[in-house]
Amino acid sequence: MVSPEQSLLIEKIKQLKKEKNVTLLAHYYMPPAIQLLEKDGGIADFTGDSLGLSLFARDAKAERILFCGVRFMAETAALLNPNAPIFMAAPEAGCSLASSITAEDVRQLKAQYPGVPVMGYINTYAETKCELDICCTSRNALEIARSIPSDKIIFVPDYYMGQNLAEVIKRETGKELILWKGTCEVHEQFKNEMFTSDPEADILLHWEVPNQLVKEQLDARKGVLGSTNDILSYVKRSKSEKFLLASECDLAFTLKAANPDKEFLTPCVHCKYMKETTLLGIVNALNAIGSDEEQAFLIQLDEATRERAIKPVERMLEFV
Ligand code: 13P
Ligand code: SF4
């Protein structure tokens, strides 16, 4: 629960947000005190998955946005809303997938497989996005892969997500995915041995977990393989009372808040990049906004990168 020190910081954040006209967006992997909506006693104005956050940022009439997530997500927000400056409390917060691939890597893949379309996970930096044909998030990856009119697709950078998607896509359409070797350092840690208890519980598997775990778990029990949003809607629909979560630990907070009568067990693996954003860091960023210090928290993209990187993102948004 919230400590007295955290309560003070939360009150300060609410005051500064109002004073500086800042809208605060938070990913579901943020710590509970950051992802809880202000109307429910927290600080966020909107909490969502990566696609939800991108859409909210695009449509927001906000004067300024403080993005609580990781850098590639804030960059996407900056691509989609050039009118509102996008700030981050932890502007260097990375992602093992985004840093696994560069624009040059994608150029080399295109040279190796001429004419094969490149579908890139949103978990890439803006420079890498410049080389993609279309982006996807975990929520729309399957639909976009189905729609691409080619019997081969290059999918970057998540190898495990690629394997999981490839199995479904091959079965449904015969299409083949060519994969890159990036992994999410959080989701790759989930192993079958972590989920041997509670045979009556359903399993909640994010696309990014290893394919071997998916096979072993979905052979043994009911569950879902998909995006964060698929996990949230599966739990809402399900008649089960107990769930095992194979995704970022703080998603269990989101799930519990939306389903207070259900039980969620998780080996609790945190994304260290998401946890770079803290209440104190948010206070510091908000204090800086509007002063000479604000540049340190601002997400800036040069115009040439912006012009190219937005194209695959806009193509993706035709599917929303
Ligand atoms: P979502 O697209 O489900 O929000 O996932 C983002 C992410 O970083 C998963 O690890
Ligand atoms: Fe990147 Fe994995 Fe963290 Fe998501 S959970 S931001 S994919 S390192």
Note whether 242 and 227 are same-domain residues: yes
Whose C-alpha lies nearest to ligand 1, atom 8? 123
Judge whether 120 and 129 are in contact, CB under 8 Å.
yes
What pLDDT digit, counting tens, does each position of 243-270 carry? Answer: 999 999 999 999 999 999 999 999 999 9
Mean residue pLDDT across the chain: 97
Q: Return the pLDDT at 165.
A: 98
User: Is the confidence at residue 49, as pLDDT, over 90?
Assistant: yes
Give the β-pairing of 223-226 and 242-246.
Answer: unpaired
Domain at 227, CATH number: 3.40.50.10800
Q: Return the pLDDT at 319.
A: 87
Which atom number of ligand 1 is nearest to the Cα of residue 52?
A: 4
157 contact partners, CB below 8 Å, separation of at least 6: 97, 98, 100, 101, 120, 121, 123, 124, 180, 181, 182
Note whether 255 and 195 are same-domain residues: yes
Residue 23 is assigned to a structural domain of this protein:
yes
Residue 315 is assigned to a structural domain of this protein:
no
CB atoms within 10 A of CB 276: 17
CB atoms within 10 A of CB 15: 12
What token pair was written down for 218? 């979905």
Looking at all shown ligands, the one closest to residue 185's CA atom is: 2
Residue to probe by mutation, ligand 1, list 28, 53, 227, most atoms within 8 Å of CB: 227
Residue to probe by mutation, ligand 2, list 185, 205, 228, 231, most atoms within 8 Å of CB: 185
Whose C-alpha lies nearest to ligand 1, atom 6? 50
Secondary structure E strands in 199-294: 202-206, 223-226, 242-246, 263-265
Q: Return the pLDDT at 259.
A: 98
Question: CA-CA distances (angstroms) from residue 15 to 12, 75, 140, 265?
Answer: 5, 26, 37, 36
What pLDDT digit, counting tens, does each position of 16-38 carry? Answer: 999 999 999 999 999 999 999 99
What pLDDT digit, counting tens, does each position of 178-202 carry? Answer: 999 999 999 999 999 999 999 999 9
Residue 317 is assigned to a structural domain of this protein:
no
Looking at all shown ligands, the one closest to residue 207's CA atom is: 1
Which atom number of ligand 1 is nearest to the Cα of residue 123?
A: 8
Which atom number of ligand 2 is nearest to the Cα of residue 158?
A: 7
Secondary structure E strands in the chain: 22-27, 46-48, 64-68, 86-87, 118-121, 134-136, 152-156, 176-179, 202-206, 223-226, 242-246, 263-265
**Rounded to whole angstroms, how far apart are CA atoms 218 and 277?**
34
Domain C-terminal end among 154, 179, 204? 179
Note whether 107 and 158 are same-domain residues: yes
Residues in the ligand 2 pocket, defined by CB under 6 Å:
70, 95-97, 123, 184-186, 248, 271, 273-274
As beta bridge partners, residue 86 has 65
Note whether 84 and 10 are same-domain residues: yes
- State the maximum Cα–Cα separation within the chain, in Å, rounded to a whole number: 59
Cα end-to-end distance, the chain, whole Å: 36
Using the structure block, give the residue that is written with the tokens 């690629």. Answer: 162
Which atom number of ligand 2 is nearest to the Cα of residue 273?
A: 3
Whose C-alpha lies nearest to ligand 2, atom 2? 184
Amino acid code (one letter) for 178: I
Q: What's the total number of domains in the chain? A: 3
Note whether 52 and 103 are same-domain residues: no
Residues in the ligand 1 pocket, defined by CB under 6 Å:
49-50, 123, 137-138, 184, 208, 227-228
Residue range(s) defining the domain that contains residue 174: 98-179
Residue 307 is assigned to a structural domain of this protein:
no
CA of 34 to the centre of ligand 2 (A): 17
Residue 27 is assigned to a structural domain of this protein:
yes
CA of 122 to the centre of ligand 1 (A): 9
CA of 123 to the centre of ligand 2 (A): 8
The pair phi, psi for residue 207, each rounded to 5°, is -50, -30
Domain C-terminal end among 124, 157, 179? 179
Domain C-terminal end among 158, 179, 200? 179
What pLDDT digit, counting tens, does each position of 73-121 carry? Answer: 999 999 999 999 999 999 999 999 999 999 999 999 999 999 999 999 9
Residue 193 is assigned to a structural domain of this protein:
yes
The pair phi, psi for residue 206, each rounded to 5°, is -75, 150
Sheet of 242-246: strand order equals 223-226, 202-206, 242-246, 263-265
User: Is the confidence at residue 320, as pLDDT, over 80?
Assistant: no
Residue 2's pLDDT band (cuts 50, 70, 90): confident
What token pair was written down for 129? 């996005």
CA of 4 to the centre of ligand 1 (A): 31
Per-residue burial over 23-41, b if 16 or more Cβ lie within 10 Å, else e, is bbbbbbbbbebbbbebeee
44-64 mean pLDDT: 96
Q: For residue 53, count CB atoms less than 10 angstroms from its CB and return exposed for 0-12, middle for 13-18, buried for 19 or more.
A: buried
Residue 313 is assigned to a structural domain of this protein:
no
